[in-house]
Structure 1
Amino acid sequence: MTLYGEDDPNIRKCIRHGPVAHSRRNVYPPSANTPKISNNIKHLSFVWEMGSTIVTMLRLRRPTTLLWGFGLCLLLLFYVTVPSTNTDQCDCRGHQRAVTSSAFIGQSQQEDIRSYPNDKHKMAILIPFRDRFEELLEFAPHIHNFLNTQHKNHHLYIINQVDGLRFNRASLLNVGFLESGIDCDYVAMHDVDLLPMNAALTYQYPHDGPYHVAAPHLHPRYHYPTFIGGILLVKREHFRKVDGLSNKYWGWGLEDDEFFARLKEAKLEVFRPGNLTSGTKDTFKHIHDRRVRRRDMIKCYNQQEITRHRDRQTGLSTIRYRLQSKKEMTIQGAPMTILNVELECDRYVTPWCDCTENIGNTPKSQQSSPKSDDVIVPRLNRKKHLSHDG
């Protein structure tokens, strides 16, 4: 990432010399003539010593190797020890914040810098990710410009799953919540393939409760009443209150339905946008092509039975992962943090995190099935509640 592509050359002086010299000038303010006199003395001393060394060498008709070496060492010594004679001073006051916040990854998370002071909140946009680079290229600048138009303080976090296990969207959202900046007081659980198109859609701070931007009556594909996927805004305290999302959902689907059950159990009402007339065709742009990237809908062991029930064992407090690396990058002016994450799988609890050797007729897990009254995902009429990709 280019940190200072458009800054003036003085920024390099600040990086090299730092604000220490500037602070010394403030602590010990010299007189107007002191710098000039000091520099002249250093110049004269350097010229005198260098000249004396050269004259001594010229007087010797056959200078020995020792004398030549001594003379060269003396010149090198003076070159290294004498401070720079450049009288151009660098005023780091204008660049000190930029150097501090950009040169060190993570420092910006500790500072509460608001691009839009009138917006008292900051949103962390959490994007679970794997092998969707073309979609990210379109999504990042679009959502960045969309939110800038609304003067929303925000930052993008791409939680990239780099292990060999099946994709786990819910666990990646848990990781993104833990790794996002402490200055972000609410999160947006956002799909990378869903672009808001209606300017009336707001990513407002969810004061009263979770705010489902991609409401069922607006989403291009999913229309059942308990759907809360796509784009959901949640305050950090509410996310912690329900212990985040379940970590049992390896593969595609159902993790949002289980999260809805958690919100309902915590008596958190889900709010949705109203008074929009754009409908399911013009409110969002769905850029996922299921013919190019098929969703992982494989079911193995007793996954289909277990994941239809409320999970009371796993969540934000039990997530296990390793942060492989953390990178900063920009796509067409949209800054973002890339979190390369390796998830861990308890194969006794969720053996379906890897179905490569257990597809088809496979033995069931030794776990007992949940109670029937804990069912959170009813069997839906797909023709009634689902439509083709938008």
Structure 2
Amino acid sequence: MNAYREDASSVRHCFRHGITNKDSGSLAANYSSQKQRNFNKGSLFSDLLSTMAAVFRIKHPKTILWFFGICFLLVFYITISSFPSDEPCNCKHQYDESLTSGGNLGTGSMSHPEDPHKMAILIPFRDRFEELLEFAPYINSFLNKQKRNHHIFVINQIDNLRFNRASLLNIGYLESASASDYIAMHDVDLLPMNTELPYQFPETGPYHVAAPHLHPRYHYPTFIGGILLISRKDFANVDGLSNKYWGWGLEDDELYARLTEAQLTISRPGNLTTGTKDTFKHIHDRRIRKRDMIKCYNQQEVTRKRDRETGLSTLRYHVQNRKEMTIQGAPVSIINVILECNKAITPWCDCTENIGNTKTKRKPGERSNDVIVPKLDRRRDVSVDG
């Protein structure tokens, strides 16, 4: 495991924001145009021969500098081309519980023999380093006090597409296969303050730790976001989460529809003396990190309904690299990933403004199990954001 200094700038070194295909094309185009300017006499091969001839004749000393300059460019180009390519993951399959795409990643942090289970804490992530620096050591200490075997997996989206929390959780599930028998879908900005909050294996079905009567912001009855524990078996049974939710919101509501349709019982904490003000610490600052609320094309119409087309079985992504580090003693596995987007299905995966979006009016009698958007009383069900 690599040792890193525990500050924001050092953590950033573990999160490679690699060159995407779009950027690579731009670099290639720039390099090509530079070659055209530098080599006006023809192809690289003929220019190289001409330069070598000039060197041997030594009529113009400056040609020697040109020769070494060209050699430097060639060596640089070959070096860049030889870098390892992204590691592909072809995940279109029915999930097999024997899948171990994560290898031995994160298996070294299970230190409580009295706990027969192993929990993978999945953090969907992009550019929230300061929050991670606070979250990782805090949750590690919190769970060690409960004697829970656990490991933190940060699934870092490094492409240029809009953030897709659901797909990142699906990836975390697959990548942590060998290190866990249940997962905690955990927001990086939500810290449990009540030590009585249980993180035990969810024997009877999904367990919603950040329950509506405890969460600092959302209080509607069908809310299951923030922190949700679920066994690998149950998660596979509903095919994970929908991959159609690019941008902020509704992926948890669609998951709720999947869980209830599969007749899984969702449990929540009870008999706690704390409430919405003191059960969790919410470290999200909306003034610094604005949520992506853009709706474009037919996104609003599609994402308001139950998705029976996408999930674990249709997931497409590449792993750029995997890194192991510790943050104030907390072991963390960082998985840098590039998501793939089928724009024929979700053209809104990379839009930057509201384009072609029209609000869909609910048709009379349309309210059914397929409509996943919750009915909210804003004053009762949603508190002021932190």
TM-score by length of 2: 0.70
Deviation at 1:106, TM superposition (A): 6.4
Letter in 1 for 2:310: T
Deviation at 1:183, TM superposition (A): 3.5
Corresponding position: 1:385 with 2:370: no
Aligned equivalent of 2:287: 291
Deviations 1:303-333 (A, max 9, x none): 1111110000000110000001100011000
Letter in 1 for 2:317: Y
Q: 1:111 to 1:128 in 2, by over 3 A?
A: closer
Consecutive unaligned residues in structure 2, runs of 5 or more: 4-100, 360-365
- Report the 3-state secondary structure (helix = DSSP H, G, I; strand = E; otherwise coil) of the residue aligned with 1:281: coil
Corresponding position: 1:169 with 2:131: no
Deviation at 1:109, TM superposition (A): 4.3
Deviation at 1:355, TM superposition (A): 1.0
Aligned equivalent of 2:308: 312
- Aligned residues of 1:141 and 1:333 also touching (Cα < 8 A): yes
Deviation at 1:107, TM superposition (A): 6.1
Corresponding position: 1:375 with 2:351: no
- Aligned residues of 1:323 and 1:342 also touching (Cα < 8 A): yes
- Aligned residues of 1:125 and 1:189 also touching (Cα < 8 A): yes
- Report the 3-state secondary structure (helix = DSSP H, G, I; strand = E; otherwise coil) of the residue aligned with 1:146: helix
Corresponding position: 1:195 with 2:191: yes
- Aligned residues of 1:130 and 1:160 also touching (Cα < 8 A): yes
- Aligned residues of 2:210 and 2:224 also touching (Cα < 8 A): yes
Deviation at 1:362, TM superposition (A): 5.3
Corresponding position: 1:218 with 2:214: yes
Aligned equivalent of 1:359: 354
Deviation at 1:379, TM superposition (A): 3.9
The separation in 1 between residues aligned to 2:253 and 2:102, in whole angstroms, is 33
Letter in 1 for 2:134: E
Aligned residues: 284
The separation in 1 between residues aligned to 2:249 and 2:231, in whole angstroms, is 23
Deviations 1:215-237 (A, max 9, x none): 00000000000000000000000
Q: Kindly name which structure, 1 or 2, has the bigger radius of gyration based on alpha carbons.
A: 1
Letter in 1 for 2:200: Q
The separation in 2 between residues aligned to 1:295 and 1:113, in whole angstroms, is 33
Q: 1:110 to 1:382 in 2, by over 3 A?
A: closer
The separation in 1 between residues aligned to 2:152 and 2:108, in whole angstroms, is 16
Deviations 1:175-221 (A, max 9, x none): 00000141310000000000000000010100000000000000000
- Report the 3-state secondary structure (helix = DSSP H, G, I; strand = E; otherwise coil) of the residue aligned with 1:293: coil
The separation in 1 between residues aligned to 2:109 and 2:319, in whole angstroms, is 25
Aligned equivalent of 1:185: 181
Alignment of 1:323-334 (within 5 A): 323-334=319-330
The separation in 2 between residues aligned to 1:120 and 1:150, in whole angstroms, is 13
The separation in 2 between residues aligned to 1:239 and 1:258, in whole angstroms, is 13
The separation in 2 between residues aligned to 1:287 and 1:322, in whole angstroms, is 30
Aligned residue among 228, 232, 236 for 2:232 = 236
- Report the 3-state secondary structure (helix = DSSP H, G, I; strand = E; otherwise coil) of the residue aligned with 1:323: strand
- Report the 3-state secondary structure (helix = DSSP H, G, I; strand = E; otherwise coil) of the residue aligned with 2:258: helix
- Report the 3-state secondary structure (helix = DSSP H, G, I; strand = E; otherwise coil) of the residue aligned with 2:171: helix
Deviations 1:127-167 (A, max 9, x none): 00001000000000000000000010000000000000000
Corresponding position: 1:338 with 2:327: no
- Report the 3-state secondary structure (helix = DSSP H, G, I; strand = E; otherwise coil) of the residue aligned with 2:184: strand
TM-score by length of 1: 0.69
The separation in 1 between residues aligned to 2:149 and 2:307, in whole angstroms, is 34
Q: 1:182 to 1:362 in 2, by over 3 A?
A: same
Deviation at 1:273, TM superposition (A): 0.4
- Aligned residues of 1:110 and 1:181 also touching (Cα < 8 A): no
- Report the 3-state secondary structure (helix = DSSP H, G, I; strand = E; otherwise coil) of the residue aligned with 1:383: helix
The separation in 1 between residues aligned to 2:234 and 2:358, in whole angstroms, is 38
Aligned residue among 327, 345, 350 for 2:346 = 350
Letter in 2 for 1:167: F
Aligned residue among 277, 283, 286 for 1:281 = 277
- Report the 3-state secondary structure (helix = DSSP H, G, I; strand = E; otherwise coil) of the residue aligned with 1:189: strand
Deviation at 1:291, TM superposition (A): 0.7
The separation in 2 between residues aligned to 1:214 and 1:128, in whole angstroms, is 17
- Aligned residues of 2:323 and 2:333 also touching (Cα < 8 A): yes
- Aligned residues of 1:109 and 1:181 also touching (Cα < 8 A): no
Deviation at 1:302, TM superposition (A): 1.2
The separation in 2 between residues aligned to 1:281 and 1:111, in whole angstroms, is 35
Runs of 4+ in 1 over 3 A off after TM superposition: 105-114, 360-364
The separation in 2 between residues aligned to 1:293 and 1:388, in whole angstroms, is 15
Corresponding position: 1:151 with 2:132: no
Cα RMSD after superposing both structures:
2.2
The separation in 1 between residues aligned to 2:102 and 2:260, in whole angstroms, is 35
Residue identity (%): 70
Letter in 1 for 2:112: Y
Q: 1:301 to 1:203 in 2, by over 3 A?
A: same
Consecutive unaligned residues in structure 1, runs of 5 or more: 4-104, 365-370
Deviations 1:30-77 (A, max 9, x none): xxxxxxxxxxxxxxxxxxxxxxxxxxxxxxxxxxxxxxxxxxxxxxxx
The separation in 2 between residues aligned to 1:254 and 1:114, in whole angstroms, is 33
Letter in 1 for 2:182: Y
The separation in 1 between residues aligned to 2:296 and 2:346, in whole angstroms, is 10
Corresponding position: 1:127 with 2:123: yes
